[in-house]
Amino acid sequence: MVDLTFLQLKTLWLISKKQMHGYELMDSLKTNQGTIYPLLQSLVKSRLIAPIKGGRKKEYKITAKGRKILKSSCIEFCEIYNDIFKEFVCKNCDGEVKL
């Protein structure tokens, strides 16, 4: 299994929703070029995303391997953070957040 950082996981999740280019991702992730482009290169190198040829801006799409890793990573993320989230939200939201 591939261990993804939170930023890699969120990037992969965003690209799974729609093909995106670097500037869109920078805006969505509130990051900069010095962060996003090495991140995209690492995801391409791991074959989790692939660049799409054509067009003015290079867009990225998720690969079959990327979808598989995203699914297992999301399950793992939910298992790890579910108890923390429920404890924090339930103790602090006064019933405002519905799980």
Q: For residues 69 and 42, what is the distance between their CA atoms, to the nearest angstrom?
A: 14
The pLDDT tens digits for 33-58 are 999 999 999 999 999 999 998 778 88
33: in domain: yes
- Over range 62-85, report the average pLDDT: 89
37: in domain: yes
Q: Which residues pair with 59 in a beta bridge?
A: 21, 52
Residue with the larger pLDDT of the pair 91 and 31? 31
CATH number at residue 26: 1.10.10.10
Q: What is the pLDDT of residue 95?
A: 56
Looking at the structure of the chain, the number of domains it has is 1
Q: What is the mean pLDDT of the chain?
A: 87
Domain that holds residue 63: 6-92
Burial of residue 14 (number of CB atoms within 10 Å: 0-12, 13-18, 19+) = middle
Single pTM value for the model: 0.81
